[in-house]
Amino acid sequence: MATQLVTPPPHVAPGSMRHCELFDRKLTYDNPHEVIIPKIHEGPPVFFADNIMFRQPGWVVRRHADLKNIFGDSEHFSKNGSSAFSKLIGEDWVVMPTELDKPHHTAFRSAVNPLFSPSKMMGWQDKVSQRATELIDTFKDKGECEFIRDFAVPFPISIFLDLIGLPQDRLWQFYDWEQKLLHTTNNDHRIASTRAIKALLLKTIDDRKKNPGDDMISQALTIEIDGRKPTDDEIFGFCFNLYIGGLDTVTSNIGLHFHHLANHPEHQKQMRENTAEQNVVAIEELFRAYGATSTLRFCVKEIEVGGCTIMPGDAVIMSTPLAGRDPEAWDSPQEVRLDRRPIHLTLGGGFRRCLGQHLVRRELQTSIEQFLRAIPEFRIQPGYKVGFFLSNVLHIPELPLTWK
């Protein structure tokens, strides 16, 4: 039953609207991947909920196959303006290229894809390894750490700062902005953070125009989109995308993966003994099992999905946590098998597959590799009850780990 005072659109059957706990923006001590998500998969393939994002009503699509189709369907679904960050401050720029639709998405994506190619990201490996090692060195001899604060948060932020050529002393300021932008319903905080991030990024972009280097912003300023240079708004939207995509979701994935390893010493042992190639496969299974992000689409043309009619203007939540545990897509979806080799949607799908997917994978692989190399068998601090924050980015706020 719905718990919010929301009136569903007329094409939603009376009495059929539900409440979806997965997006409640609250702390729970039940692992959502093991408790909430399996319950959702016992229900209909598509249903209308009162709370898919910031209390916005819309459709929840639970099946991997349906979500995969929507990811690739630009005729019926749009992502334009789905984050609403620019609207928060009364502007109309978009997050680039993630909020663009075809054909504009294709043109911009083609221009920036070379900046994120596997070979380009391989060139960042030494820096990624260095940042991981520096952080692990601060706690490896203590026998314990608060993993989220000590590693999962600062690691991807430090990489982002390296990517755009800013000093590491900005790290905790960026974290504060990220928290107030993405993990609160306080609009004043979200507005202030959006303005602060925009001001710093614009200042940095202006500096790179005058003093180009080998950072990502300097490289982006050299691209051409259908034979023209990008506009200032396009460069800013691209940098804003790097910020929100490169920080929060990576932290969430790292936290969820290490929570699993702390609870499964047999998988720690397996990954310690694996070859590097075997661990590449293992991490894909962790991505499948622990999807973190749910993003919005808006229907632009009437379509039927899972027996439900979705109309223009309707919002649809693209939940990768649901896709990864779909019993119709995976044999024993609740079982984590490190040799499964899944083709998952955790990093998006179709033409909207994550722009930074190769960097994200490198960060996850490096963090696990370096941690297992430096730290003996670890577990969650005895007696500590791990909380999970339910929202469009599922994450663990605190994860105290201990080892001998």
Domain-wise residue ranges, the chain: 21-403
What pLDDT does 343 receive? 96
End-to-end CA distance of the chain: 48
- Report yes or no: 95 and 237 within 8 Å, Cβ to Cβ: yes
Say if residue 270 is exposed, middle or buried (CB neighbours under 10 Å; 0-12, 13-18, 19+): middle
Measured between alpha carbons, how far is 99 from 114 in angstroms, rounded to an integer? Answer: 19
Joined together, the tokens standing for residue 2 give: 């719905």
Q: Average pLDDT in the 250-277 region?
A: 97
Backbone angles phi and psi of 9, in degrees to 5: -65, 160
Provide the pLDDT confidence category of residue 29 given band limits of 50, 70 and 90.
Answer: very high
- Report yes or no: 19 and 311 within 8 Å, Cβ to Cβ: no
Measured between alpha carbons, how far is 52 from 315 in angstroms, rounded to an integer? Answer: 9
- Report yes or no: 198 and 206 within 8 Å, Cβ to Cβ: no
Measured between alpha carbons, how far is 236 from 201 in angstroms, rounded to an integer? Answer: 7
Rounded to 10 deg, the angle between the 265-273 and 248-263 helix axes is: 100
Measured between alpha carbons, how far is 337 from 106 in angstroms, rounded to an integer? Answer: 35
What pLDDT does 5 receive? 66
Q: SS3 of 184, please?
A: coil
What pLDDT does 276 receive? 92
Kindly tell me if the per-residue pLDDT of 4 is higher than 60. Answer: no
21-403 CATH, one of 3.40.50.720, 1.10.630.10, 3.20.20.210, 1.10.1660.10: 1.10.630.10
Measured between alpha carbons, how far is 234 from 82 in angstroms, rounded to an integer? Answer: 16
Model pLDDT for residues 73-130, shown as the tens digit of each residue:
999 999 987 777 888 888 888 888 888 888 888 999 999 999 989 888 888 899 999 9
What pLDDT does 88 receive? 85
Measured between alpha carbons, how far is 22 from 52 in angstroms, rounded to an integer? Answer: 8
Neighbouring C-alpha atoms within 13 Å toward the C-beta of 2: 20
DSSP 8-state secondary structure symbol assigned to residue 214:
S
Mean pLDDT, the chain, integer: 92
